A and B are shown apart, each in its own frame.
Chain A
Amino acid sequence: MGRYVLRRLLQAVPVFIGTTFLIFALVFAIPGDPIRALSGDRPVSPGTVAALRAEYHLDDPLLVQYGKYMVGLAHGDFGKSFTGRPVSSIMAERFPVTIRLALVAFVFELVIGLLAGIVAALRRRSFADTLVLVTTTLIVSIPVFVLGFTLQLLLGVKAGWFPVAGTADGWYSYLLPGLVLAALSLASVARLTRTSLVENLRSDYVRTATAKGLSRRRVVGRHALRNSLIPVVTYLGIDLGSLMAGAIVTEGIFNLPGIGQQVYLSVRNQEGPVVVGIVTALVLVFIVANLVVDVLYAVLDPRIRYE
């Protein structure tokens, strides 16, 4: 187990270096002045340009630039906005909102997604199964921003069941955005759980469990489900990336002052450095989260652990 974790850690190092270099190179090493590119159409004073050039060490050779940039990342330095505010402090301020939203979404995803998947798998070809199949296909086809505006309009504005925007109502304000954010992943979790459980229910060891005289509940709940969760957990790691993108859209639509909304606003206001800084941080979170999922995978599946 220890060896496995160590190996995954070592494997993550080149990915980490490669990913940051990729972003860095594409942002700062493309032809033309990166500061000009990051500013978009906004007029930037020569003083700001000079400050930003110094901030990103743009007068150094490329590899030195990258080295200094990496040292900065290690110290939590994700760059500064045009007004000189560190991106890290912007993120720190907006972090709690995004965490709350992610938690609500995660609960929806797991509770509804798993439940729907299990019911569909156990009652294959029933009405419930068809319902899950049709609903998930529809959800997957509707882009998050379309779904977000639609639910905001129908359940928020028209029906008045949920707050339309903002966080004034505490956790309650997170319900609808959380559902919107969870929708896509929820559908995937449901489908994945169904497929995987159906497959496992046909497996030889489930037959053995039945032959052992175990109750149906134990056969499904302990033997089949435990194995079916392995791909679902793996999926959750990969899915974090689309959850982050979803958070940008969802927080933008529902006006939740989180990290995603900051990206949304910064894109609209052409605050290039803030966008790049935050997204880089999110990519790092994504890599770390996938490392955690890999370890979790090993906990769930002994075949991986002892490889």
Chain B
Amino acid sequence: MTRTFPNEAAGEAEVGAAVLEVRDLRVEFRTRDGVVSAVNGVSYAVDRGEALAVLGESGSGKSVSAQAVMGLIDSPPGFVTGGSILYRGRDVLTMAEEEQRELRGRKIAMIFQDALSALNPVFSVGDQIAEMYRVHEGMSRAEAHRRAVEMMDRVHIPSAAERYGDYPHQFSGGMRQRIMIAMALALGPDVLIADEPTTALDVTVQAQIMDLLAELQRENEMALILITHDLGVVADVADRIAVMYAGRIVETGTVRDIYRNPAHPYTEGLLRSIPRVDQKGKELTPIAGAPPNLARIPSGCPFHPRCPYVRDNCRVDVPPLREVLPGRHAACHYAEEVLS
């Protein structure tokens, strides 16, 4: 159903091909302290109606790769140094600025972690949603107003019409995130990138927002890219998972497969470090060591300093992402050992 890797996915846009595909993406930040390789050859793809979770710690490159898709990387210091981002088979990176802008918001939308700072404090929430219709569709003020209220209704904001003129700080965290979602989905995009959409929220509100996202995704048949570090959030919504570490994808597969039997030591460590209903009574063990410094990524397998399976060749050879089981890919020399 999904083509995840460049060697598999054909370049031509064909019927049923991925809506959005990232191929061998490389992003680096040139800072005073040296070049930081935030994304080192990442590839993934999402289909219509599919939800892909990109999982990783902060600094794993998961957010940066999404920002590259949206053209949000501040340059300098950030530079996309390689790869391509294909929307329906066309490379976004080589498009004219005008065309990219038209794609952003209309076809590919994004929501962020902290809706309070992501919404402009000095404009009413209604105006910020209506701006989508005014700018992209050239609608009249009244028409845009009407559509914005409709959208606020769709994300279940109580008495939407009255709250059109309220400002972001007058809403609760969950309501603000709904506003963000309404704004992102205003023009019915094909792809929604949600960057840690519930991290800043209370647990109960988290579930409501995830339900809403799932509901809207189903209705619109959108592709959803969910960027998160929270394994709990992933299980309910995502179809597939791509686990990232040190700017690389280290494992992919369906949620069920990965949860049941991880193929990469890092994924295994992640799963061991959180409490799970299906494994009650098991001891929680955090992953040893600290995430790598991206300016000095360890040689060989970047996970080797923290890996319990480490052997000598791990320090030298970079493990390629390879198919370890049907539909399962992992970047580990000893994936089979991890699996068994």
Say whether A associates with B: yes
Which of B108-125 touch A at CB < 8 Å?
Answer: 109-110, 112, 114, 117-124
Residues of A in contact with B (beta carbons under 8 Å apart): 202-205, 207-215, 218, 223, 226-227, 230, 300-303, 306
State which of B16-24, B98-106, B284-292, B326-334 sits at the interface with chain A: B98-106
Whether B131 lies near A212 (C-beta < 8 A) is: yes
Determine whether B35 belongs to the interface, using a CB cutoff of 8 Å to chain A.
no
Whether A302 lies near B135 (C-beta < 8 A) is: no
Determine whether B167 belongs to the interface, using a CB cutoff of 8 Å to chain A.
yes
Interface secondary structure of A, over-half rule = helix
Task: Give A302 Cβ to nearest chain B Cβ, in Å.
Answer: 4
Q: A203-B117, A303-B169 are in contact. Are A211 and B104 (CB under 8 A)?
A: yes
Whether A212 lies near B132 (C-beta < 8 A) is: yes
Whether A207 lies near B118 (C-beta < 8 A) is: yes
A-B contact pairs, 10 of them (CB 8 A): A204-B114, A208-B118, A209-B120, A210-B71, A210-B104, A212-B183, A213-B102, A215-B135, A302-B121, A302-B122
Task: Give B104 Cβ to nearest chain A Cβ, in Å.
Answer: 4
Task: Give B300 Cβ to nearest chain A Cβ, in Å.
Answer: 35
Contact of A227 among B71, B104, B120 (CB under 8 A): B120
CB nearest to A218 among chain B residues: B135
Determine whether B325 belongs to the interface, using a CB cutoff of 8 Å to chain A.
no
- Residues of A close to B71: CB separation below 8 A: 210
In the bound complex, what is the Cα–Cα distance between A202 and B105 (angstroms)? Answer: 19
Q: For A204, A226, A303, A306, which residue has the most chain B Cβ atoms within 10 angstroms?
A: A204
Whether B105 lies near A212 (C-beta < 8 A) is: yes
Determine whether B148 belongs to the interface, using a CB cutoff of 8 Å to chain A.
no
Whether B101 lies near A213 (C-beta < 8 A) is: yes
Contact of B105 among A204, A211, A223, A301 (CB under 8 A): A211
Task: Give B101 Cβ to nearest chain A Cβ, in Å.
Answer: 5
Interface secondary structure of B, over-half rule = helix
- Residues of A close to B117: CB separation below 8 A: 203-205
Whether A211 lies near B110 (C-beta < 8 A) is: yes
Task: Give A38 Cβ to nearest chain B Cβ, in Å.
Answer: 49
Task: Give B1 Cβ to nearest chain A Cβ, in Å.
Answer: 28
Which of B164-182 touch A at CB < 8 Å?
Answer: 167, 169-170, 180
CB nearest to A230 among chain B residues: B122
- Residues of A close to B124: CB separation below 8 A: 302
Determine whether B72 belongs to the interface, using a CB cutoff of 8 Å to chain A.
yes
In the bound complex, what is the Cα–Cα distance between A269 and B110 (angstroms)? Answer: 70
In the bound complex, what is the Cα–Cα distance between A56 and B117 (angstroms)? Answer: 57
Determine whether B311 belongs to the interface, using a CB cutoff of 8 Å to chain A.
no
CB nearest to B189 among chain A residues: A213
- Residues of B close to A302: CB separation below 8 A: 121-122, 124, 167, 169
Determine whether B70 belongs to the interface, using a CB cutoff of 8 Å to chain A.
yes
Task: Give B186 Cβ to nearest chain A Cβ, in Å.
Answer: 9
In the bound complex, what is the Cα–Cα distance between A301 and B123 (angstroms)? Answer: 9
- Residues of A close to B131: CB separation below 8 A: 212, 214
